[in-house]
Structure 1
């Protein structure tokens, strides 16, 4: 039997291993409804993903479609999607759209939606029913876990050897949207009780939820409730087929009040709680539609939590975030949302931004724009896809460096390498061009590789070095099977000003010393 995909840390570096080798998902997440029809996938998705050079795709599996009759399962759609992915030679990440999607229970089966006595709703502060099944409804959690377990069992049966599916997202952006906590009768009763021992030990507190956490109590209460439900669902799935599993977060952002973002989701402040109470979840990960990629990556990448970015903004600047996340944090996945739009003619796109929806989701309209994104992302994915084996080799030696321009006031950075320093000047970018970013591979003696965009740079001698530094070779090229293949020698005018403009490139520099 072949080795099951796994997320693990080796030599201090998190990696997703597929068939025993590191695999970085240069991916595309599809629109929510695209995977509900294989015919639609054939006509409106696969043809437009091919030019992006993806090696993987993130797509939903819908509870409402696989268990239309309680206890009876139909996986024919799942099987067809897997066959299509194998034909396209891409791996899949499955998004389980179960009890909760963006804080709402829109993907549960009709039999569950209509039985509101058994599967009761969450309620807001005024007692009004919300469009979400309460996470305190154990019957609903049990039913979700049973369905998810059956899905994982089926995946093992049909894909346990080929490993087309390599990881699974449990639910989607969970939490209660529109209220700081659930005020249903069951929730109110639980809220009055003493905090569980696991929470008491984690936070060194005691008493009721209100006594222990004061005004923060409703949010901590919901965090505990959702993590308990997700852990039960994930555990049930992993007993059938232990693929890596993660949960994604609608990240905390302005107006920074629980309910404005889903209260109870895996936001950065509660990572310790999630890591402690959901051991069957490999990673808690951010969906990034904001412009502060550097800050969000820093919050989610840590000793105990690998970084994946399963949803990212759609504009051309996403290639800057791609380079930074993989270079700095060895991100296991990078996946802009609704990527089938990127190479599609405007009149065919289904993912046109609705200002009302964008306001509800608290997403900047600029983050949704994708004119020209496809060509640039495809170029970046192709370049990185060929460089990954080399990046894996150099990162074990601590010789991978990264940079990104966060705002217009930053002018550049000096990165310190073992044998030299690299001065990087950030080139100004427009509204629809990438901001300066890149990866530097510190090669063998007196050489380096720059994979970057929108930057000018120079090689500097160390401050204590009295010799002068000269250039032996400056060229552009690609990696092929962990070997650098030179395409064009750059000399003369190009050597006076080493730079990479809007389109991402790989450049090689070899230098020497003279006195």
Structure 2
């Protein structure tokens, strides 16, 4: 069916070039089957997603959990997603629909998803809802759920069962692995030519709730057994770079080897979390490795984050969180990266925990803030953290106004994609965002950005007028964020919302920076199209650049120095 629903373009060569440069999906009927499959590559200091030979920036949206389960329901969503300027949809692949009877596979839900994505010129990231989704096992098929003797559950300390498949069960692992591997084989058979599916997330927000670890008989036996040598060897090889809590726990117990988990790290909820991280990461990593052996798309896992002051089990214990990054890396080398589902107000703080040098950074889920704030976060992530992609959750349920705001921001990111992709990791690209605390308190302090010999002072409050006695006014309304790209010695692109920029010179011979010109405009296929020239009252008589609140503007600025 998929081969019968191919987009056909008359000028495939020109389209391929134009769309790959703009970071959009590439579709060409005569694309050679030998084209390299999607993969990750370190390019000028940034890990980027390479699609059909060109870097690709994911302007994503993750469908609500049930949206992709109905062909008719899904069909209604595509025009709305296109209107928001998405180029990629993150959508579940449901184990219960794919293998409704053991060993009998039905890929019709996947085939429809892929075919309609192609029809609407979209790419896909598939989310494997297999053994675990938000810790629970609700997407396992009925034949797994009903046979708890064969497919055992995790247990609480009192022995009662949880609706969570035990990671200590070989039968559970074998069943999940077989189905996931069949899915990857099907993608290889039906999508290796088109590359509609770019990446795969393996499981979803794994971790134990409401206790810190599984207390089944098998889990208790494994907890009492020696910590696996593979983990100890990894910790020893990376001792100086381990997460501080892990290193301190191991050090406090004499860097033991060949001992139980409690003897090695101490008796604590944190040790329970280390054990659960190893158990679920090993399981997830084996599922991923089996799928990759068939069709090696980039694969990752996502993390449900933890609130301040909470203990393991009060959040999904053992998920790919910073304190157990090392355990996940040791247990699941087949996974390409760990990703945060970032819903907390302190976006900047959490994003920086996952955007580690030399590692891919991708945000598969985000939300619970206004569309303008999500967009400001996207600008920051793409520019300062070299993100490969950004994906609000359930965009199909945004209000018309919020959808229009996200669409406006994604339209700007679409225009800027060639610049972003060319400059990630080079030092010529900087993101700006007002940091916030977990309680939502926003730090509106001015920020400074250096592009020698210039300094940009970024303000989020109205600047005082030039008249004697003028006072600074209140916070600019709405969201605050954006990015700056250096084009040349004195020339810059500035994009974003809710900011005022002033300029200074660091050159002793010419200590004052002036604005030579400001153009408002847009990019079309990488070419700058100038709009208004901004001056006079709109630039405070040549003193500042204003990025209006509630809109996402793009400006080309030329500076000069004088004394």
Alignment pair present for 1:335 and 2:391: yes
Alignment pair present for 1:20 and 2:20: no
The 5 A counterparts of 1:58-457 are 58-204=90-236, 205-206=256-257, 207-214=259-266, 215=268, 216-314=270-368, 315-316=370-371, 317-343=373-399, 372-395=401-424, 397-407=426-436, 408-427=442-461, 434-457=478-501
Change (3 A) 1:434 1:313: farther
Partner of 1:276, secondary structure, is helix
8 Å CA contact 1:48–1:342 kept in 2: the answer is no
Distance 1:93 1:159 in 2: 13
8 Å CA contact 2:45–2:358 kept in 1: the answer is no
Q: What TM-score comes out, normalization by structure 2 length?
A: 0.84
The 5 A counterparts of 1:20-39 are 20-39=53-72
Change (3 A) 1:432 1:63: farther
Q: How far apart are residue 10 of structure 1 and its match?
A: 2.4
More displaced, 250-259 or 169-178? 250-259
Task: Identify unmatched segments of 5+ residues in structure 1.
Answer: 345-371
Change (3 A) 1:191 1:304: farther
Deviations 1:250-283 (A, max 9, x none): 0122342111111121011211222233121111
Distance 1:181 1:57 in 2: 33
8 Å CA contact 2:349–2:435 kept in 1: the answer is no
Aligned to 2:529: 485
Partner of 1:416, secondary structure, is strand
Q: How far apart are residue 343 of structure 1 and its match?
A: 4.7
Partner of 1:383, secondary structure, is helix
Partner of 2:419, secondary structure, is helix
Q: How far apart are residue 307 of structure 1 and its match?
A: 1.0
Change (3 A) 1:465 1:416: farther
Q: What TM-score comes out, normalization by structure 1 length?
A: 0.91
8 Å CA contact 1:234–1:245 kept in 2: the answer is yes
Q: How far apart are residue 438 of structure 1 and its match?
A: 1.1
8 Å CA contact 1:7–1:16 kept in 2: the answer is yes
Partner of 2:508, secondary structure, is coil
Change (3 A) 1:268 1:377: same
8 Å CA contact 1:324–1:402 kept in 2: the answer is yes
Distance 2:103 2:292 in 1: 20
More displaced, 315-324 or 426-435? 426-435
Aligned to 1:498: 545
Q: How far apart are residue 163 of structure 1 and its match?
A: 0.4
Distance 1:182 1:249 in 2: 19
Which of 507, 510, 524 in structure 2 is aligned with 1:466?
A: 510
More displaced, 493-502 or 176-185? 493-502
Distance 2:376 2:474 in 1: 13
Aligned to 1:347: none
8 Å CA contact 1:251–1:268 kept in 2: the answer is no
Distance 1:483 1:275 in 2: 42
Q: How far apart are residue 231 of structure 1 and its match?
A: 0.9
Change (3 A) 1:430 1:388: farther
8 Å CA contact 1:48–1:340 kept in 2: the answer is yes
More displaced, 18-27 or 461-470? 461-470
Q: How far apart are residue 29 of structure 1 and its match?
A: 0.4
Q: Which has the larger radius of gyration?
A: 2
Deviations 1:186-219 (A, max 9, x none): 1111111011112222334321100011112211
Distance 2:511 2:345 in 1: 42
Aligned to 1:351: none
Distance 2:64 2:477 in 1: 24
Partner of 2:177, secondary structure, is helix
Q: How far apart are residue 308 of structure 1 and its match?
A: 0.6
Partner of 1:318, secondary structure, is helix
Q: How far apart are residue 66 of structure 1 and its match?
A: 0.8
Change (3 A) 1:213 1:17: same
Task: Identify unmatched segments of 5+ residues in structure 2.
Answer: 1-33, 237-255, 437-441, 463-472
Change (3 A) 1:427 1:374: farther
8 Å CA contact 1:404–1:435 kept in 2: the answer is no
Distance 2:445 2:425 in 1: 30
Distance 2:218 2:134 in 1: 22
Change (3 A) 1:489 1:253: same
Distance 1:8 1:276 in 2: 21
Q: How far apart are residue 466 of structure 1 and its match?
A: 2.9
Distance 2:119 2:179 in 1: 27
Q: CA RMSD in A?
A: 1.8
Aligned to 2:23: none
